Amino acid sequence: MLGYVKKKSMVHALDARAKLALLALFMLLQIFAPLSFAPLFFALTLALYAFARMDFLEVVKGRKALLLLPLIPSLLRVLFEKGTLEVAGLLLPAGIVKGSLNFIFLCSLVYTPLLFALTTAPAQISAALRFYGMPKRWAFIFSVAFVSVAYIRKKAERTLAAQRARGCRRNALALMLPVLHSCFRRARTMAYAMAARGFDADAS
């Protein structure tokens, strides 16, 4: 879902430390700019996706659950914002206008960091975080988490395929149980492997 997608583009080629700094700057500008600037930032986000040679719509389609993050608060705004606003000479309900701008604003806020994750190898992200002073212990936790996310995704895909092959319909519980069991088993063996190589969680 958040995995690195190997491609040749200027965004991929950019140094991870520079990318992280630019991402932080871009996010801060978005947060502190007036809501009316949201379309401009969203256009910039789309441009970044184009520079990264990533199909924005494909990225959204492949991660539908992520769309809930901007969608739910924006819908709430549509429903609860009262009054009207004049836009280009037209009098429109404030909820629709502000809700739409809110949706665009939150989309930029969600999909720009995602672009960073999609275009930067996990090892480079970890190195960049260490460069900006993240403690070694946290950088290690990040690397284990990143590897585990990839493992869980693969395991879920395999389990789903195995269940479908046996005529099982999509069932969240039937998918979750074997995946969780496998994750706990892997976590246990991983802990043994770390201990056998002298890893001391308290010392690192």
Given 1, 18, 72, 193, the residue binding another protein (CB under 8 A): 193
143 binds another protein (CB under 8 A): yes
Q: Which is nearer to another protein, 28 or 144 (CB)?
A: 144
Applying CB under 8 A, the site for another protein has a residue count of: 26
131 binds another protein (CB under 8 A): no
For residue 92, the SS3 value is strand
Tell me how far apart the alpha carbons of residues 42 and 113 are, in angstroms, rounded to a whole number: 13
Task: Identify the bridge partners of residue 87 per DSSP, sorted by sequence position.
Answer: 90
Contacts with another protein in 106-125 (CB under 8 A)? 121-123
Q: Which is nearer to another protein, 97 or 125 (CB)?
A: 125
Task: Identify the bridge partners of residue 91 per DSSP, sorted by sequence position.
Answer: 86
Q: Which is nearer to another protein, 30 or 120 (CB)?
A: 120
Q: Which is nearer to another protein, 162 or 168 (CB)?
A: 162
Checking 59-65 for CB contacts under 8 A at 24+ apart, the result is: 59/111, 59/114, 59/118, 60/111, 62/1, 63/1, 63/114
Contact characters 26-55, another protein, x per CB under 8 A: ------------------------------
152 binds another protein (CB under 8 A): no
Cβ within 8 Å of residue 9, ≥6 positions away = 51, 52, 53, 54, 119
Tell me how far apart the alpha carbons of residues 126 and 40 are, in angstroms, rounded to a whole number: 31
Enumerate binding residues for another protein (CB under 8 A): 4, 121-123, 126, 143-144, 146-148, 150-151, 186, 189-200, 204
